[in-house]
Amino acid sequence: MASASVPVSPYAPPAEGRAAGVTYLLVAYLFFLISRCFEVITVLVVHRNIYLMLLLTLFSVIAILFTGGLARALRSTPGILFVALTVWFWLGLPFSMWKGGTLGILLNNWMKSVPIFFVVAGLMSDFSSAKKALNAAGVGIVVAGVITFFTGGGGARFEGIGSFANANELAFHFLLGMIFAAYWISTSGWAKKILGGLGVVNCLLLVAKTGSRGGLIVLAMLMMFAIYRASMANRIKLIVAVSILGVAAISTISPESLDRYRTLFGDSGTTSAFDSAELSRESRAYHLRQSIELTLRHPVFGVGLGNFMPVSAELSAENGEDAAWRQTHNAYTQVSSESGIPGILLFLGIIASCWKTLLNLDKKAKEKGNEEVRKMAFALICAMAAYSVNSLFDSVAYGFYLPVLAGLVVGVRNAVLPGLEGEAIVTPAVSSPTLAGHAVRQPLPSFQPVSPGAQPLTARTPLPPRNPYKFG
């Protein structure tokens, strides 16, 4: 007898035989993305770019094509907005002030970053894979900290190698990764807690040595988040731990980094490091004003991706001022000045959509009394807060951070929402000639992630034979 087609849930994982494979691929992808192991191999071993991360991304894109993950990611609000923003960036290319520079940013930055969203969101199949994904990011940052401890250095400010050669970028990467390391610690046994705790301490000390003032602001915000969410007993422990780490950090960082931090509190100083930090602060404010002015001058398509520096230099010359040739140091005005008001609206729409999803997810998990999902939601809330605040101080709009965070948000939502709403993804027994091998929904009294090896349930009423989420 021919089997009838039954549609899967929009959050349905891949078929059982492929679920484990895509989970392993997701774990490997996030680990290598956060740990930067491939970059270290490129810089220290082979001494040339062999595009290992790009190859892994291409392999992962093929995987989501054949498992339906791409279709699930595309149907999400961030997925639609990422596509719209990409189209808008390309539409602005003919209007760019320097078309070669814009094309370079599109091909070498944006078009390599956007697929990360679809890979992460598309490969996440169920509650178990969501948990493993966040843990993989946490383990990855611990490994990155060990690598950077032995390969980094520098003068007044601690710097790493490759993309970590910028102290501000290094500080934000580790602060973001430590959020997932904290989640990993909270869900692990004592041995992993100790290992993860040592890794987090190492990362915190590395961040302190960078002298990144934006990093210090993000760290302070994350500490307030943690204290607010913790119980009274854990608040006391956290405050004591932070105090001890603060003393340790002050004793290990350079005097130049301390001078940079002092500028945040209005202190005065006469050292060259203090003067340099003050000039940097004034330069950031100056370029912020310039980026706003360029947004108003070019409100539709902007000046073109990657064109802020040369155009701002022309603007300085026009006003009889010396050109600094610096980035905006603000991701929001970076997008608005280089892609216009439509571009910044789409960019903000992605961020707002992620926030809305996470707050709703946390609310539903609280109503259901599901602490596991609340831990996931809180980790991602902290990560989005870190990105949102750091974007005020750094030009990170075209990097991989927003795509990977949005991918985690959409993936976790798709993985846990059916359970929170009282539904589970199941596969009926093969003995049923009309339902064999097709995923259906079943009500559950409470959240209960269904593992690939769980016994299937029997469908009550088949749905109409339409499956808009199957791809390939």
Q: Are 84 and 346 in contact (CB under 8 A)?
A: yes
Q: What is the pLDDT of residue 316?
A: 84
Closest to 309 in 3D by CA, of 292, 281, 290: 290
Cα–Cα separations (whole angstroms), residue 453 to 54, 82, 128: 33, 35, 12
Q: Look at residue 271 in the predicted model and tell me its pLDDT.
A: 65
* 3-class secondary-structure state, position 278: helix
- pLDDT > 80? residue 408: yes
Cβ partners under 8 Å of residue 384, min gap 6: 351, 354, 355, 358, 405, 409
E-strand stretches of 152-265: none
* Residue 268 pLDDT: 63
Q: Which percentage of the chain shows pLDDT scores above 90?
A: 58
Separation of alpha carbons 232 and 223, rounded Å: 14
Average the pLDDT over each of 17-31, 271-285, 320-334 and give the range with the smallest value.
271-285
Q: What percent of the chain has pLDDT over 70?
A: 83
Does residue 436 carry a pLDDT above 70? no
- pLDDT at site 447: 46
Quote the crossing angle between the two packed helices 190-210 and 255-262, to the nearest 10°: 80
pLDDT number for residue 275 = 67
Arithmetic mean of pLDDT, 70-81 = 96
Residue 457 has pLDDT above 50, yes or no: no
Please name the residues in contact with 204: beta carbons below 8 A apart, sequence gap of 6 or more: 174, 178, 219, 245, 249
CB 141 within 8 A of CB 180: yes
- Inform me whether the pLDDT recorded for 46 exceeds 60: yes
Pull the structure tokens for residue 296: 């108003």
Burial pattern 107-139, b for ≥16 Cβ within 10 A else e, equals eebbebbbbbbbbbbbbbbbbbbbbbbbbbbbb
Query: Where is pLDDT greater, at 324 or 403?
Result: 403
Tell me: pLDDT of 6 over 60: no
Q: Please report, for residues 102, 119, 418, 442, the alpha-carbon distance to residue 445 in angstroms, rounded to integers and kept in the order given.
A: 53, 32, 12, 10
More confident residue, 305 or 241: 305
Do 374 and 359 touch, CB atoms closer than 8 A?
A: no
Compute the distance between CA of residue 298 and CA of residue 285 in angstroms, rounded to an integer.
20
Q: Cβ-count burial of 423 within 10 angstroms (0-12 exposed, 13-18 middle, 19+ buried)?
A: middle
Q: Hey, how many other C-beta atoms are within 10 angstroms of the C-beta on 30? A: 28
